[in-house]
Amino acid sequence: MELLERFAAGDVDAFESLFRQYQGEVFGWIMRIVRNRATAEELALEAFWRMYRARASFDVARGNCGGWLRRIATNVALDHVRRVRPEVELAEDPPDDAKPDLVQQSEVRSAILGAINQLSPRIRTVVVLALIEEEPYENIAQGLGISVNAVKVRVFRGVRSLRKELTRLGVHA
Among 1, 2, 9, 28, binds other proteins (CB under 8 A): 28
Counting contacts by CB under 8 A, is residue 61 touching other proteins? no
Instruction: Looking at the chain, list the stretches that DSSP marks H as alpha helix, in order from N- to C-terminal side.
Output: 3-8, 12-34, 37-53, 65-83, 106-117, 121-127, 137-144, 148-168
Counting contacts by CB under 8 A, is residue 8 touching other proteins? no
Backbone angles phi, psi at 168, to 5 degrees: -60, -35
Among 3, 60, 78, 113, binds other proteins (CB under 8 A): 113
Counting contacts by CB under 8 A, is residue 134 touching other proteins? yes
Using CA atoms, how far apart are residues 173 and 166, in angstroms rounded to an integer? Answer: 7
Using CA atoms, how far apart are residues 146 and 67, in angstroms rounded to an integer? Answer: 12
- Stretch of 1-9, 63-71, 143-151, 155-163 lying at the interface with other proteins (CB under 8 A): 155-163
Give ∠ CA 91-97-101 in degrees, rounded to 5. 95
Among 3, 60, 103, 169, binds other proteins (CB under 8 A): 103
What is the binding site for other proteins (CB under 8 A)?
Answer: 12, 16, 19-20, 23-24, 27-28, 31-32, 35, 37, 41, 44-45, 48-49, 52, 88, 90-95, 98-100, 102-103, 108-109, 112-113, 116, 127-128, 131-134, 159, 162-163, 166, 171, 173
